[in-house]
Amino acid sequence: MTPPTDRPTRFRVPRLARAKQEGRRLTMLTAYDALIAPILESAGVDMLLVGDSLGNVVLGHSSTLPVTLEDMERSTAAVARATSRVLVVADLPFGTYEASPELAFASAARLVKAGAHAVKLEGGRPRCAAVRLLSEGGIPVIGHLGYTPQSENSIGGPRLRGRGDQAEQILADAHGLEEAGAVALVLEMVPADVAGEVTRALTIPTIGIGAGPQTDGQVLVWSDMAGMSEWTPSFVHRFGELGEALRVAAERYVTSVADDSFPGTENYHAT
Ligand code: KIV
């Protein structure tokens, strides 16, 4: 038997529904490696999403489409190894779940074996059979509606989804995913009023990104949140300026090596 420890307990899937019932806002940030994940965990975030935004943020791709299951497994394992309290959620990358529920289960199981506690997949009604199979097979699923980056070739680039008739579609898809067993729903770039309507209509929590303040929680890409790059989407608040801080540190290092002030006597042993 595992001995009891005094560590705070891990945020587990049943707490998602409890948080919604209690009106406690949920927090999620992306994380892709063992360097950043424990820092975000120590800040008190509930969930770390090993997002397929890994493709853009870490691997230098211009979209999420080239991301492979192996990329996701490696990143998920690193985040899982480096954390002990957060719920680790891993994205199913493009091409690893759409063809059949069985394919979705096989791909999701690999992410769970790598350390994920839940997986996220994009899309509405067409994904419900996969969501049902995974949920019944013990793999919690988070849905993703609104702007879904893996469909950028069909729907165009990043844009608000859910105006006019699309609002009805999003609501119907949200109900379908909940009924199929999804444990939460990410709403990306959806008008705030539509996000609010979906949030009130569901018993599972909604987690918004560019969807306004009426969702049950918020998610951001960590590097956007921390101000790592010069440009951030308009729906992001820069909570820090890490990119500039890193640039200044590297510049001081370069200068110190050039002017012989590093390494100093405290940094080495003469004999
Ligand atoms: O991959 C990702 O970072 C995401 C968030 C934008 C929700 O899916």
One domain, residues 106 and 34: yes
User: Could you identify the atom of ligand 1 that is nearest to the CA of residue 149?
Assistant: 8
Ligand 1, atom 8: nearest CA belongs to which residue?
Answer: 51
What is the per-residue pLDDT for 208? 98
123 and 236 both lie in a single domain: yes
Residues 6 or more apart whose Cβ sits within 8 Å of residue 190: 145, 146, 147, 160, 161, 162, 170, 198, 208, 210, 211
Q: How far apart are CA 203 and CA 17, in angstroms?
A: 7
Half-sphere exposure of 164 (CA within 13 A, CB side): 1
Same domain as 202, residue 68 = yes
* CA–CA gap between residue 72 and residue 111 (Å, rounded): 7
Per the domain annotation, does 6 fall within a domain?
no
Pocket test for ligand 1, best of 26, 28, 29, 30 (most atoms within 8 A of CB): 30
Number of domains in the chain: 2
Give pLDDT, residue 22. 98
pLDDT on residue 2: 59
Q: What is the structure's pLDDT at 5?
A: 54
Question: For residue 185, is it within any domain?
Answer: yes
Strands (E), 11-86: 26-30, 47-50
Q: For residue 208, report the distance from its CA to the centre of ligand 1, in Å.
A: 10
Q: Please tell me the residue having the least CA distance from ligand 1 atom 2.
A: 51
Active site annotation includes 188: yes
pLDDT for the residue 8:
73
Has residue 40 been placed in a domain?
yes
For ligand 1, atom 1: residue with the closest CA: 51
Q: Are residues 253 and 119 in the same domain?
A: no
Instruction: Name the residue among 139, 128, 121, 233 with its Cα closest to residue 185.
Output: 121
* pLDDT, mean of each 10-residue run, the chain (271 residues): 65 97 98 98 98 98 98 98 98 98 99 99 98 98 98 93 95 98 98 98 98 98 97 95 98 98 97 95
Query: What is the distance in A from the centroid of ligand 1 to the CA of 189?
Result: 11
160 & 268 share domain:
no
Question: Helix 192-201 to helix 165-180 angle, to the nearest 10 degrees?
Answer: 30
Domain housing 258:
242-271
Indicate whether 7 belongs to any domain.
no
Task: Out of 188, 230, 244, 251, pick the active-site residue.
Answer: 188
Domain of residue 180, CATH code? 3.20.20.60
218, 99: one domain: yes
Report if residue 1 sits inside a domain: no
4 in any annotated domain:
no
- 91 with 119: CB under 8 angstroms? yes
Residues with CB under 6 A from ligand 1: 30, 51-53, 91, 186, 188, 209, 219, 221
Mutate to test the pocket of ligand 1, among 92, 221, 228 (most ligand atoms within 8 A of CB): 221
- Shared domain check, 112 and 148: yes
Whether 3 maps to a domain, the answer reads no
Residue among 50, 75, 91, 235 whose CB has most ligand 1 atoms within 8 A, to mutate: 91
Q: Are residues 139 and 250 in the same domain?
A: no
Task: Identify whether 20 is part of a domain.
Answer: yes
Which residues are CB-neighbours of 41 under 8 A, at least 6 positions away? 48, 83, 84, 85, 86
Spacing, Cα 29 to ligand 1 middle (Å): 9
Q: 190 and 146, same structural domain?
A: yes
Do 145 and 27 fall into the same domain?
yes
For residue 105, the CA-to-ligand 1 centroid distance in Å is 20
Give 52 Cα–ligand 1 centroid separation in angstroms: 6
Let me know whether 141 and 264 are in one domain. no
Residues 155 and 208 in one domain: yes
Nearest residue (CA) to ligand 1, atom 5: 51
